[in-house]
């Protein structure tokens, strides 16, 4: 048993397991990558203890809460940790590194495991995330992939990642494709904190001296904000534009957004937000196509009248190196065509 001082975020990689002792809802909002959730109080119990603390004071809250904590710890030790060897070394954290994690550490140590407590709890990890974003983003060797809607930028990023290139896929972390129609069916976006944690999980593990490919996103992806230091560095970085033909883009969109046809009413409702920009008559026509399942006509006009004009304006306004961008022509965005685009990006003849 080491009984050393509480550990720091930088020490967590040395432990066998990272245990989040907070409630399930706190864990779902955000947690340290790789952590497992073993709450000492579930959401209802935490609410009960909090109410008792406000209404009757600390003693009664601790008396009732202590019994709940003991019962939950008994279950974890009997079931969740039953197969852990004598030399198991877990690191435990709660919100601030207080009573919830300290109670778990105490019981685990009584069993004989070398459990340690994260100093400052989740809040110290959150400080780490913010600090890493501010420190690392300006140092990134970025290459920004641009291209009009339907240029398969995300698929190209995935192809580059499969080839061993360093990639930061912001839309994957945001669970959103970044456009008006970009929400994913049945998939909620994560919290802002979770999004930033996922970004830092990449930044903490890349070679800062190698190129990092990222898609040229706007400042927001759905309801989530891309961290400002990353946005600022992206907009100053060199750009690669996938100059795909309208025919190739339409074919790709019809495949990539095919699920929109399964919810015609929802698609029509999303299109209503464009009335001020495009006019009522145009949007009503689009909504009619949505109701009919005529995605080919709908997507073709959305590209021509909405996405493409906005794209040309936004790229030249936001990316300082846009006039010097490298263009890669593409008339095919099938798997073979995407591989050819990746070849060109990597400089392969």
Catalytic positions: 94
Q: How many residues does the chain have?
A: 349
Q: Can you tell me the distance from the alpha carbon of 140 to that of 69, in angstroms, rounded to the nearest whole number?
A: 44
DSSP secondary structure letter of residue 6: P
Q: Can you tell me the distance from the alpha carbon of 209 to that of 197, in angstroms, rounded to the nearest whole number?
A: 22
Q: Can you tell me the distance from the alpha carbon of 160 to that of 231, in angstroms, rounded to the nearest whole number?
A: 21
Rg (CA), the chain: 25
Q: Can you tell me the distance from the alpha carbon of 30 to that of 148, in angstroms, rounded to the nearest whole number?
A: 33
The SS3 of residue 33 is coil
φ, ψ dihedrals at 206, nearest 5°: -100, 165
Q: Kindly give, in sequence order, each residue whose CB lies less than 8 Å from that of residue 269, ignoring residues fewer than 6 positions away.
A: none
Q: What is the DSSP string of 85-128?
A: -TT--EEEE-SSSSHHHHHHHHHHHHHT---EEBTTHHHHHHHH
């Amino acid at each position: 048993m080491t009984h050393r001082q509480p550990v720091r975020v930088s020490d967590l990689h040395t432990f066998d397991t990272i245990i989040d002792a907070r409630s399930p809802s706190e864990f779902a909002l955000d947690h340290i990558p790789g952590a497992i959730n073993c709450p000492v109080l579930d959401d209802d119990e935490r609410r009960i203890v909090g109410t008792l603390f406000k209404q009757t004071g600390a003693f009664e809250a601790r008396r009732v809460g202590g019994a709940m904590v003991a019962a939950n710890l008994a279950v974890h030790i009997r079931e969740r940790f039953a197969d852990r060897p004598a030399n198991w070394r877990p690191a435990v954290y709660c919100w601030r590194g207080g009573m919830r994690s300290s109670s778990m550490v105490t019981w685990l140590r009584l069993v004989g495991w070398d459990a340690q407590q994260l100093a400052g709890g989740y809040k110290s990890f959150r400080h780490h995330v913010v600090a890493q974003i501010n420190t690392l983003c300006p140092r990134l060797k970025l290459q920004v992939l641009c291209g009009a809607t339907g240029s398969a930028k995300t698929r190209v990023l995935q192809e580059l990642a499969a080839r061993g290139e360093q990639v930061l896929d912001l839309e994957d972390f945001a669970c959103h494709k970044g456009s008006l129609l970009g929400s994913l069916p049945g998939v909620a976006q994560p919290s802002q904190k979770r999004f930033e944690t996922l970004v830092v999980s990449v930044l903490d593990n890349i070679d800062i001296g190698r190129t990092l490919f990222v898609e040229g996103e706007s400042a927001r992806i759905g309801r989530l904000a891309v961290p400002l230091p990353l946005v600022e560095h992206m907009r100053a970085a060199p750009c690669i534009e996938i100059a795909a033909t309208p025919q190739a883009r339409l074919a790709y969109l019809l495949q990539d957004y095919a699920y929109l046809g399964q919810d015609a009413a929802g698609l029509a409702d999303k299109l209503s937000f464009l009335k001020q920009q495009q006019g009522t008559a145009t949007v009503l026509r689009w909504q009619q196509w949505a109701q009919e399942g005529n995605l080919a006509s709908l997507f073709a006009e959305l590209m021509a009248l909405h996405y493409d004009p906005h794209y040309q304006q936004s790229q030249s306004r936001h990316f300082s190196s846009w006039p010097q961008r490298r263009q890669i022509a593409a008339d095919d965005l099938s798997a073979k065509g995407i591989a050819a685009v990746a070849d060109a990006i990597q400089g392969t003849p």
